[in-house]
Structure 1
Amino acid sequence: MMDNKSFYNRILTEHNVSPFNKGKLTNPMMVKRGVNPSCGDDLTIELSIDDGGIIKECAYTGDGCAISQASCDIMIDLVVGKSVDEALRLKEIFLRMIKEEINEEEEDELGEAIAFADVAHMPARVKCAVLGWRTLEEMLK
């Protein structure tokens, strides 16, 4: 695993300062709110799925710490264009990454989300990093 902390910090900062996926969809099919009371993170994810089961659009609104906001933004980049099953599989890989239980091939699948690997060493921040992923899972199941 790459150990370039400044690279990861830059990814987190970019997604926090200029989130690409923050906003509302015109006609979302599903809307789900996720809250992390211990940190004050509060996200609402909206998404649309096409007839073939592919996530067409996804966006989020809300407030919270840099980790929760950047993680949700990066998650959306990863799941748009994927099937529901693929999105749920990426969520599983992300959660296993937090527990330091993934291989190199799975790291590649996570793309920029690998920036959250260090959260494994910050137990208080795990809930922040996984909030968007858990909320997405609740929506899709």
Structure 2
Amino acid sequence: MLPEALARQIITDHSQHPRGRGEIAGVPHATRENPGCGDQVTVWARVEGGRLLEVRFTGRGCAISQASASLMTQALAGKGLEEARALAARYRAMVMGEAPPDLALGDLVALEGVSRLHARRKCALLAWQALEAALAGPHE
């Protein structure tokens, strides 16, 4: 677990200066919305040879949803699909309070505190749900 001040700093940095923002033409994408708060995230996933070569997003919403999407693009780019799905499962378990923070999550552990904020869990998982839907699309 990261110190609270460091976690807050990572979340603020990624929400104010998101990495991986933008579209990728001609690749599968999916949009997910949180009707409870109005957050919306669209995720694009370029997959070649069973690897996530690039993950990008657009959207609007709270600091948690935008930081989660930004951190996700960095954590998953270049990973094999199975490795990416395993990392996503570990992240989801942490956010849901079902598992402790995992060092394999890197800076994603900054969002561990969301597990205690039930209403914010959906915000932290929104981009990941969009990615899952995008990956269900056709790939090479």
TM-score by length of 2: 0.91
Pick aligned residue for 2:97 from 88, 95, 100: 100
1:79 to 73, 76, 79: 76
Runs of 4+ in 1 over 4 A off after TM superposition: none
**How do 1:28-43 and structure 2 match up within 5 A?**
28-43=26-41
Q: Taking CA–CA contacts closer than 8 Å with sequence separation of 6 or more, which of the two structures ends up with the larger relative contact order?
A: 2
Percentage of pairs with the same residue = 35
Partner Cα distance (1:139, 1:19) in 2: 20
**TM-score where L is the length of structure 1:** 0.90
1:99 CA drift (Å): 3.0
Q: How many pairs were matched up?
A: 136
Distance of aligned partners of 1:28 and 1:14 in 2 relative to their CA distance in 1, 3 Å threshold: farther
The reply to whether residue 61 of structure 1 matches residue 58 of structure 2 is yes
Instruction: List per-residue Cα deviations over 1:55-107 (Å, max 9, x = no partner).
Output: 11111111011100000110111110001111111111011112333356xx1
**Aligned partners of 1:28 and 1:47 also within 8 Å:** no
Unaligned stretches of 5+ in structure 2?
A: none
State whether residues 35 and 43 of structure 1, in contact with CA within 8 Å, keep that contact through their aligned partners in structure 2.
yes
